[in-house]
Amino acid sequence: MTQELIALRNSILQGRYTDALAIVDELDGMSKQAILRHIQSFLNVLLINLIKNQAEQRLTGSWVNSIRNSIREIKKANIKDNKTSYYINSDEWESFIEEEVIEDAIAEAAEEVFNGAYSQFQLAEMVDKNLIIETAVRLLNLTYIHSAKDLPAVLASHLSQLPGGENWINRRQ
């Protein structure tokens, strides 16, 4: 990015405004890609924990914390500076997850589910990807309608509906 900033400065100083605008567009694209990668990393954590939940039919406090943190971080990263639009709109999550994240999340979750007893291919056969994606999208959509202040309580209510959620909310094993 330093090289682009130097080129931008030189273009402006030399009066080459068309070149400068092209560099600004390139920088904007680079910034958006960095934000999408940031969102993708938290989305991966979210999916890993939803996969573990579905496969093991339980919900731990650690998994809940990871899910809650992922959702909060995605909420913060996804909203643009204008505070009125998003990098990923609510109707784009499903395709983004299917195209960018789900297979990596399954591969990573395979190392954790049942202490790594299944390969990523076996785990992929065991879980319902569509249900995992549907659950993730439902949780992500909460970020569009709830404030950062209200989101943790709303998430707790939704997470208590997952397999093992009742035991988690009531602190039973």
Higher pLDDT, 84 or 144: 144
Tokens of 124: 């992929």
User: HSE (CB half, 13 Å, CA atoms) of 101?
Assistant: 24
Q: Has residue 111 got a pLDDT over 70?
A: yes
Helix/strand/coil for 86: strand
Quick one: three-class SS letters along 105-173? Answer: HHHHHHCCHHHHCCCHHHHHHHCCHHHHHHHHHHHHHHHHHCCCCCHHHHHHHHHCCCCCHHHHHCCCC
Closest CA to 94 of 132, 128, 151: 132
Over the stretch 32-65, which tens digit does the pLDDT of each residue have? 888 999 999 999 999 999 999 999 999 999 999 9
Per-residue pLDDT, averaged over 158-168, amounts to 94
Please check the confidence at residue 79 and state whether its pLDDT lies above 70.
Answer: yes
- All structural domains of the chain with their residue ranges: 2-169
Looking at residue 76, its amino acid is K
Q: Distance (Å, rounded) from C-alpha 26 to C-alpha 154?
A: 38
pTM of the complete model: 0.87
At residue 165, the pLDDT reads 94
- φ, ψ (nearest 5 deg) of residue 28: -60, -45
Top pLDDT among 82 and 41 is at 41
Q: In whole angstroms, what is the distance from residue 148 CA to residue 45 CA?
A: 19
Structure tokens at 70: 């992922």
